[in-house]
Amino acid sequence: MMTFMKESLSMRILSLFTLLVVLSLVAGACRDMGVNPDGPVPPPPPIVTVDSVSFRNNVLPILTRYGCTSCHGGTAGLTVGTVAGLEAGGLHGPAIVTGNADASNIVLKISPNPSFGERMPQGGPFMDLATIRIIRDWINQGAKDN
Mean pLDDT, residues 129-138: 97
Mean pLDDT, residues 19-42: 48
Does pLDDT of 139 surpass 90?
yes
Does pLDDT of 4 surpass 90?
no
The answer to whether the CB of 96 falls within 8 A of the CB of 90 is: no
* Average pLDDT in the chain: 78
Q: What is the pLDDT of residue 36?
A: 46
Mean pLDDT, residues 99-126: 94
Mean pLDDT, residues 30-55: 58
Helix locations, the chain, DSSP H: 2-32, 60-65, 68-71, 83-88, 105-110, 129-140
Span of 6-10, 28-32, 127-131 with lowest mean pLDDT: 28-32
Q: What is the pLDDT of residue 8?
A: 67
Percent of the chain with pLDDT over 70: 62
Q: What is the pLDDT of residue 35?
A: 47
Q: What is the pLDDT of residue 14?
A: 60
Does pLDDT of 145 surpass 90?
yes
Sequence-ordered list of residues with C-beta below 8 angstroms from that of 45, at least 6 positions apart, any chain: 130, 133, 134
Does pLDDT of 143 surpass 90?
yes
